[in-house]
Structure 1
Amino acid sequence: MLSRFVRLGPSTAKVLRSSTLSSCSKRVALGVANRRHVSTKLMQGVNMRALNPSSRITGIRLPYQARWESTSVMVPQMAESLTEGSLKEFTKKEGEYIEQDELLATIETDKIDVEVNAPVSGTITKLNFKPDDTVTVGEELAQIEPGEASASSEAPKKEEEPKKEEVQPKKEEKAPKKEAPKKEEPKKQEQPKKQETPKQQETATPSFTKFSRNEERVKMNRMRLRIAERLKESQNTAASLTTFNEVDMSAVLEMRKLYKDEIIKKTGTKFGFMGLFSKACTLAAKDIPAVNAAIEGDQIVYRDYTDISVAVSTPKGLVTPVVRNAESLSVLEVEQEIVRLSSKARDGKLTLEDMAGGTFTISNGGVFGSLYGTPIINMPQTAVLGLHSVKERPVTVNGQIVSRPMMFLALTYDHRLLDGREAVTFLKTVKELIEDPRKMLLF
């Protein structure tokens, strides 16, 4: 090859050299381009892997993207009529670990408390609100970084405690050193007199200021605000009028005494008054259907069912869970449902479905010792029955004065829909059914 190459002329040799160099440069360029193409494909694969974790690229180690991703915890849907609430509290702090489905926050609404649970297990990286802040449905409440609990998050807490204990003795050791110079200045004992002068100036007011006159301002919770709005709306809308009657509870107390132990053994439910009064109201409403009706615009809505709202007092305010179709339930079934709803109300576990609707309300103020009272109508209902405490009073029976357990009943009704004759007839029917409960089996 060399001999042939040498025999060529100088111009031909230059041409061959240039062609050889150009072919080599093309190969190098192709190699570089291929490497760039491969690297580009690899990077595209990495990006696709981040977007789609199910995809895999053989022979390439991809970064663990979930480690830096956070899961957003949103304010959940509450109800059609509820779009916002007040953040009551967070159960965890930033940096703490939380299990999946563990309670993270409680949101207080106009009607119920909504619990927000963690969607995943992980570490809380961010809390976007503070207690008493207003939160809206769909807002980001917090962020959680998925993962397992790290031992390092709990270790510092345990290590900090002994450090605090070690620092305290040092402070106690320094304390006596500071007390020493105080003892060396007996002449400064007159200083307390100077300190008393401002106190005397503060109390240099009329004698009643010697007692505490502090004031505390507490923001009304949403439930209390809603109750206030509804009660005032009721007074402004309904033409409220109250009629009274009294009922002899002798027959009911005797019935309760005979059967309460047997009922507790069979059903585990304590036999009270609410089941009997609820059943009596459903029977009386059949004779006076307007009691169970409601005004909607220019129309009157009559119902063939009775959903009784039972007023239950809770630490946050009065709630009225509903016993559905009370007219179709027995006395014990109504009693069991009232006990179940009352327990949920006191535990703060009521749902919107438990309180939606209601056609008639019974409020038992007698459990608190009330003797008289005029309940307020639970709009858009037409009437509310108020029960009061049972007291032994002298009454006339068959011309003789005897002592009987008596209870005052109060029926507040909307005079726009219910006339006085109908209201009095309804309350009188309830009185007669309670004084002789056997009549309830005849209707």
Structure 2
Amino acid sequence: MLRSSVKYSVRRVQCAAKGSLSLSVATPASIKVACRSIQTFAGSSGITSYLIRPSIVSSHTSRPNFLSSQLFARGKATVIKVPEMAESITEGTLASFSKNVGDYVAQDELLATIETDKIDVEVNAPVGGIVTELLANPGEDVSVGQDLAKIEPGEAPEAPRITSPFGKFSRGEEKIKMNRMRKRIAERLKEAQNSAASLTTFNEVDMSSVMEMRKLYKDEFIKKTGIKMGFMGPFSKACTLAAKDYPAVGAAIENNDTMVYRDYMDISIAVSTPKGLVTPVIRNAESLSVLDIEAEIVKLSHKARDGKLSLEDLAGGTFTISNGGIFGSLYGTPIINSPQTAVLGLHGIKQRPVTVNGNIESRPMMYIALTYDHRMLDGREAVSFLRTVKELMEDPRKMLLM
């Protein structure tokens, strides 16, 4: 519950006597009585017009209070509703309110955040005013069109003084409920683990040629795209070319009895964000150049980290590439992004001694791993696909011939 101490001050506009009147009431039920008292006094003192200004100081618990302020009874309340989020989404989980009852909210300022399976939807205030009611609790599921809050006309109050007590060191535990996105990620990963016959095959790539190509055309690439060339672009292109010979890599099983083969390749790129892993999709990657793919990867990665991905950016995908090397991973087994058939895991580049034409040389080497669904992809095909990717990366000129 919420208890509010509401202080009203009457500011004189035309008054025979100087000064102002103030009174305090404990609950909104006293507002009507208080206003009558003010009007009576005002009439006897010669006040012809007056303005009531509120200053509300509240102590809250985590449960919002369904308290309707009558402070602006003459104004028209605006009801804030759950907005339409996407054609396929009809509900979400109310993550939080950024304002409490009695707080001032500016027009277009964030009022609430709603979590869906893949993205967070921000609900902004269409008008400025005082929040008079919160009509849902954080953690509850809310549907499109459901009432969230009420806003009535009002002005921003003066900023209160804030003091910070000195806190001594302590140790403890904090329990945080999983957000909707994290819960959905957990469900999908467990679903993939339970449904697919997962198997992983490994190989290693000599990155010398790709690194030399990147160094040689660095300035030209930046001039044309405005970004630096990474390794995800060449790997993505190599995968689309290798998939021409092994199309089952980008296929899927439908209804447990139908195999769906595609003549296109939409590559999902795994991106880590503060709220969890997301996999935005590069559409028709087979028709894009390495430069185009790299530019699209950078654009989607920035949108993901800024929380601006749309559902269209995340929908679909026929094959996934996950680059754990940027976090320092040396070796690992990626997990399939269901309902896809395979995922390629990239790892860190390390200088290692290798044999080249009978001589031992230090080369920049990367381990790569392909996890695949053995129901759809045989071991021979999986190993051959990964070997083709390796060969294309070790001699990027071959990509021009395929």
Note whether the superposition's TM-score is higher than 0.5. Answer: yes
Larger radius of gyration: 1
1:279-299 deviation per Cα after TM superposition (whole angstroms, max 9, x unaligned): 000001111111111110121
Structure 1 gaps of 5+ residues are: 1-64, 166-210
Which residues in structure 2 correspond to 1:394-409 (within 5 Å)? 394-409=353-368
Indicate how the Cα distance of structure 1 residues 67 and 286 shifts in structure 2: closer, same or farther if over 3 A, else same. farther
Residue 208 of structure 2, aligned match among 217, 237, 250: 250
Residue 233 of structure 1, aligned match among 191, 194, 197: 191
Which residues in structure 2 correspond to 1:142-291 (within 5 Å)? 142-145=149-152, 147=153, 149-150=154-155, 153-154=156-157, 157=158, 161=161, 214-291=172-249
How many Å separate the matches in 2 of 1:438 and 1:373? 29
Residue 353 of structure 1, aligned match among 312, 325, 332: 312
Size of the aligned set, in residue pairs, is: 325
1:160-203 deviation per Cα after TM superposition (whole angstroms, max 9, x unaligned): 64xx99xxxxxxxxxxxxxxxxxxxxxxxxxxxxxxxxxxxxxx
Which residue number in structure 1 is paired with residue 387 of structure 2?
A: 428
1:322-380 deviation per Cα after TM superposition (whole angstroms, max 9, x unaligned): 01111111111111111111111111111111100000000000111111111010011
**Partner SS, residue 313 of structure 1:** strand
How many Å separate the matches in 2 of 1:442 and 1:100? 57
Offset at residue 80 of structure 1 (A): 4.8
**Partner SS, residue 123 of structure 2:** strand
Offset at residue 105 of structure 1 (A): 1.4
How many Å separate the matches in 2 of 1:225 and 1:68? 42
How many Å separate the matches in 2 of 1:216 and 1:318? 22
Offset at residue 83 of structure 1 (A): 3.5
Which residue number in structure 1 is paired with residue 296 of structure 2?
A: 337
How many Å separate the matches in 1 of 2:74 and 2:253? 59
Report which of the two has the higher share of helix: 1
Structure 2 gaps of 5+ residues are: 1-71, 164-168
Question: Residue 140 in 1 paired to residue 99 in 2?
Answer: no
Which residue number in structure 1 is paired with residue 84 of structure 2?
A: 77
The residue type paired with residue 305 of structure 2 is R
Which residue number in structure 2 is paired with residue 303 of structure 1?
A: 262
The residue type paired with residue 294 of structure 2 is E
Which residue number in structure 2 is paired with residue 174 of structure 1?
A: none
The residue type paired with residue 148 of structure 2 is L
The residue type paired with residue 253 of structure 1 is M
Question: Residue 379 in 1 paired to residue 338 in 2?
Answer: yes
Offset at residue 383 of structure 1 (A): 0.3
| TM-score after normalising by structure 1 | 0.69
Offset at residue 220 of structure 1 (A): 1.1
The residue type paired with residue 241 of structure 1 is L
Which residue number in structure 1 is paired with residue 376 of structure 2?
A: 417
How many Å separate the matches in 1 of 2:177 and 2:128? 34
How many Å separate the matches in 1 of 2:99 and 2:376? 52
Offset at residue 404 of structure 1 (A): 0.6
**Partner SS, residue 384 of structure 1:** strand
| TM-score after normalising by structure 2 | 0.76
Report which of the two has the higher share of strand: 2
